[in-house]
Amino acid sequence: MTTFRPPLTKEDIRGVIPPLVSTFAADGTLDLALFRGELAFMEAAGVTLAVIGGSTGSGDELSADELAALIGEATRSGKIDIIAGIITTTTRDAILRGQKAKEAGARALMLGPPIYTTPSADGLDGFIRDVYEATGLPIIYYNHFFNPPSVMQRIADVPGVICLKEVALEPVAELFQTVGERVAIAAGADCVNIASFLFGAHASISGINTVIPKQYREIYAAHEAGDYRLGRELTEKIAPLAREMIKPENFPARVKYAINLQGREVGAPRKPSGDLAQQDQENIKAALRFAGLIA
């Protein structure tokens, strides 16, 4: 039975928030048994809030019904609260995905800008506002088109926005200083999360959190304790892996390869992703060994 809880607030966006992978069978259909295994791993690692359908979760490859199915699988246990990733092209489809995600138990939406198009400022603001009004779910706006802080500051005032996710490190400080009292600031700078927290980020939402959630929770704990020497040491240990994960080529395959090597079976990505180059495989193995995660 799906457990429904009230929408998230900006105060709920804290700590390490993994964007979960979507698990597929060999024929490309959803494999919910594999997904249940990954959910169990995340619960055991202490994860209480996660994204389904983000970039790491192949959100642009999922149908609205598939997104809802994954969310429903997660919310039936009620142990991890879910933010639904909305990656699409039109307002109409974003609303459909958001409504189905809400029905499945999502507590917020992580909404990126329309893919393959660049709307005007009014068009982008209207896109965010329309999705919020149609779904009633709060919005985490994901700046994956590298809009400057001035655009993000404007978006912070759009009704329904509770968080800005910034993928670059330097703007995190400016956003925290200028709009951090109105919205939460989430960082997506995988290699330098400890620096993002120091600059004021309230949370981290990045693919590396999914690969090694326990290690990134330890980095966040070091930040909360004010032990930045420990935080730096922990970061240096996993930095080579983080650098491998953020390379854009064959991104879903990179993440799943690193997870599978650690003994968590999450399947392969949907084609045409996959067929990771031999050099990439060796680099990821070496990074996992450096971090002490595989023999």
Q: Supply the residues annotated as catalytic.
A: 142, 165
Q: Is 205 within any annotated ligand binding site?
A: yes
Q: In the structure encoding, which two tokens stand for residue 54, read together?
A: 């983000």
For 65, 74, 124, the CA distances from 51, given in Å and listed in that order, are: 16, 10, 22
For residue 93, give the 3-state DSSP assignment. helix
- Residue that the structure tokens 């084609």 belong to: 271
The single-letter DSSP state of residue 151 is: H
Cis peptide before 138 (omega within 30 of 0): no
Q: Are 137 and 36 in contact (CB under 8 A)?
A: no
Q: Is 71 within any annotated ligand binding site?
A: no
**Rounded CA separation 61/259 (Å):** 20
Most distant pair of Cα atoms in the chain: their distance: 53
Q: Which residues are annotated as a binding site?
A: 56, 205
Residue list for the binding site for pyruvate: 56, 205
